[in-house]
């Protein structure tokens, strides 16, 4: 038997729970919708802000051209050229490399060009060094390195030729050195007619002496090696004295007024032959003593008497001496050696009927 139905104590709450659940679901839907709208809003704001940022700063694109090898660099801000090269992992630059624009410049975009310096060996005379450059001609290479050339210097290749990169430029300097040397000036024998001396006689009246010549020589060197020389200056240090060889031309062609047979000796107070006109020697009469004068006993033969001595020639009595007595005559020679060679002779001495002035005129002596 069934009894009366028992109602649950929560049954009266069912309508409320149904309403409450509906409200909770609506609130959840509302919150979810709000969060969805908030996310969309943030996304929109982010997009707007990102667009604003991108619009205000922009994308910066650089191209590094390293000898034809290009590397692209993208950034969101301007950079210095140095920073662009670093970001592109560019290999180390040499001081001679050329970068355009300059590495210190700040740029927003564009190309950074690198021209790499290349190696060339520069040899000056015998010294070589390796240098790096980008210039085109040999002449510009030398200017770039501060090398000045003289007009005679030799350069290979020519200055207008292209630089032989990985090759060699050779400069051979032309320099000059000066030196000096001395050499003898050889004397020569000069023959001279002596009007006092008897025909057939001859002797050296002036002893020859070599002179000394100094030469200044200019030596031309290419790459420090002598290639030529030339005498640029000469200077006589000691003058040459040519040997004078007297040839006798005198003859007895006058009738003498008196004839003596005398003992003839010779003298000279010059140790060497007369070398110039400054060493004049004067006898008792005041006359200059030379070949053609003699010393006599003035009691027998007066000073100034013109004589002709056999084997000697003309002689003017111009001197005397304590040892000259009577029939003695002392003949003068221009050198001590010639006087010694004469020795002592017995000779005929002829007294001529002319004066000293007439003799000079006859012999053509002024």
Instruction: Work out the percent of the chain whose per-residue pLDDT is above 90.
Output: 68
Residue 238 lies in a domain: yes
Judge if 152 and 67 occupy the same domain.
Answer: no
One domain, residues 324 and 274? yes
Q: Are 188 and 139 in contact (CB under 8 A)?
A: no
CATH of residue 324? 2.40.40.10
Q: What is the predicted pLDDT for the residue at 269?
A: 72
Task: Show Cβ contacts of residue 213 under 8 Å, excluding neighbours closer than 6 positions.
Answer: 182, 183, 184, 185, 234, 235, 236, 237
pLDDT band at 57 (very low <50, low <70, confident <90, very high): low
pLDDT in tens, 9-18: 555 556 656 6
Helix (H), strand (E) at residue 84: helix 81-87
Q: Dump pLDDT digits (tens) for 127-172.
A: 999 999 999 999 999 999 999 999 899 999 999 999 999 999 999 9
Q: How many domains in the chain?
A: 4
Measured in whole angstroms, how far is the alpha carbon of residue 219 from the centre of its chain? 10
Residue 182 confidence (pLDDT) above 90: yes
Lowest mean pLDDT, pick from 2-16, 48-62, 89-103, 273-287: 2-16
pLDDT band at 40 (very low <50, low <70, confident <90, very high): low
Residues 204 and 107 in one domain: no
- pLDDT at residue 203 in the model: 84
Q: How confident is the model at residue 53 (pLDDT cuts 50, 70, 90)?
A: very low
Residues 233, 188 share a domain: yes
Cα–Cα distance for residue pair 103/114, rounded to 1 Å: 10
Residue range(s) defining the domain that contains residue 86 = 60-93+102-114
Question: Within the chain, how many helices (H) and strands (E) appear?
Answer: 5, 22
Residue 14 lies in a domain: no
Say whether both 260 and 354 belong to one domain: yes
Is there a contact between 94 and 119 (Cβ–Cβ < 8 Å)?
A: no
pTM for the model stands at 0.55
Q: Are residues 108 and 128 in the same domain?
A: no
> Does 210 map to a domain?
yes
Cα separation, 327 vs 81, in Å, equals: 124
Domain assignment of residue 20, yes or no: no
The pLDDT, as a whole number, for residue 67 is 87
User: Average pLDDT, whole number, for the chain?
Assistant: 86
Is residue 75 a contact partner of residue 93, using CB atoms and an 8 Å limit?
no
Q: Is residue 51 part of a domain?
A: no
* DSSP per-residue string spanning 178-217: EEEEEEEE---EEEEEEEEEETT-EEEEE--B-EEEEEEE
Structure tokens at 128: 């070589």
Question: 3-state SS of the chain: helix, strand, coil percent to 5?
Answer: 20, 40, 35
Q: What is the pLDDT of residues 262-278, one digit of tens each?
A: 999 999 876 555 544 45
Residue 49 domain-assigned (yes or no): no
What is the rounded distance in angstroms from the CA atom of residue 272 to the CA atom of residue 187? 16
Tell me which of 48-62, 288-302, 347-361 is least confident.
Answer: 48-62
pLDDT-derived band at 54, boundaries 50, 70, 90: very low
Does some domain include residue 284?
A: yes
Q: Within this chain, do residues 188 and 166 fall inside the same structural domain, yes or no?
A: no
Is residue 288 domain-resident? yes
- C-alpha neighbours within 13 Å on the C-beta side of residue 299: 7
Strands 306-309 and 313-319: what pairing?
antiparallel
> What pLDDT, on the 0 to 100 scale, is given for residue 304?
95
Q: Which residue has the higher pLDDT, 124 or 10?
A: 124
Percent of the chain with pLDDT over 70: 81
Residue 206 near residue 274, CB atoms below 8 Å: yes
């Amino acid at each position: 038997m069934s009894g009366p139905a028992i109602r649950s104590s929560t049954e009266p709450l069912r309508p409320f729970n149904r309403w409450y659940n509906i409200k909770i679901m609506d609130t959840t839907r509302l919150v979810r919708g709000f969060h969805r709208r908030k996310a969309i809003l943030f996304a929109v704001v982010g997009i707007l802000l990102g667009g604003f940022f991108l619009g205000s700063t922009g994308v910066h694109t650089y191209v590094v051209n390293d000898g034809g090898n290009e590397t692209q660099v993208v950034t969101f801000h301007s950079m210095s050229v140095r920073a662009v090269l670093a970001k592109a992992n560019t290999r180390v630059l040499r001081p001679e490399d050329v970068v355009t624009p300059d590495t210190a410049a700040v740029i927003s975009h564009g190309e950074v060009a690198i021209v790499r310096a290349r190696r060339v060996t520069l040899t000056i005379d015998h010294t070589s060094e390796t240098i790096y450059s980008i210039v085109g001609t040999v002449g510009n290479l030398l200017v770039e390195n501060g090398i000045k050339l003289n007009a005679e210097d030799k350069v290979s290749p020519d200055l207008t030729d292209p630089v032989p990169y990985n090759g060699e430029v050779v400069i051979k300097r032309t320099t000059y050195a000066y030196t000096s040397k001395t050499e003898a000036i050889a004397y020569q024998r000069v023959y001279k007619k002596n009007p006092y001396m008897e025909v057939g006689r001859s002797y050296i009246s002036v002893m020859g002496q070599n002179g000394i010549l100094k030469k200044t020589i200019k030596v031309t060197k290419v790459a420090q090696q002598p290639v030529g020389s030339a005498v640029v200056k000469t200077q006589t240090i000691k003058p040459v004295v040519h040997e004078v060889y007297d040839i006798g031309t005198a003859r007895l062609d006058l009738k003498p007024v008196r004839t003596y047979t005398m003992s003839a000796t010779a003298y000279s107070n010059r140790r060497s032959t007369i070398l110039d006109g400054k060493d004049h020697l004067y006898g008792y009469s005041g006359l200059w003593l030379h070949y053609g004068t003699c010393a006599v006993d003035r009691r027998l033969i007066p000073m100034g008497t013109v004589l002709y001595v056999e084997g000697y020639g003309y002689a003017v009595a111009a001197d005397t001496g304590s040892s000259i007595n009577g029939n003695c005559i002392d003949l003068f020679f221009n050198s001590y050696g010639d006087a010694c060679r004469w020795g002592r002779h017995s000779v005929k001495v002829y007294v001529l009927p002319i004066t000293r002035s007439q003799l000079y005129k006859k012999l053509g002596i002024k």
